[in-house]
Amino acid sequence: MYFVCGLTGGSYQALNIRLFIIIQPTFIRAFFLLLLREIKAMEDLI
């Protein structure tokens, strides 16, 4: 993460906030919605 901070010029704390407060929950929600979609698709096959 320090390497990315050096490339972007941002601070380590700012990168942590972006990564763990904004990006990670977005990915969790997206994958949860994909999981629900797959479950629904599997139920339609049965």
pLDDT tens digits along 5-46: 888 888 889 888 988 999 999 999 999 999 999 999 999 887
pLDDT at 42: 93
**pLDDT at res. 3:** 83
Rounded CA-CA distance 46/27 in Å is: 29
Look at residue 34 in the predicted model and tell me its pLDDT: 98
Residue 46 token pair: 């049965």
pLDDT at residue number 10: 85
Q: What is the pTM of this model?
A: 0.69
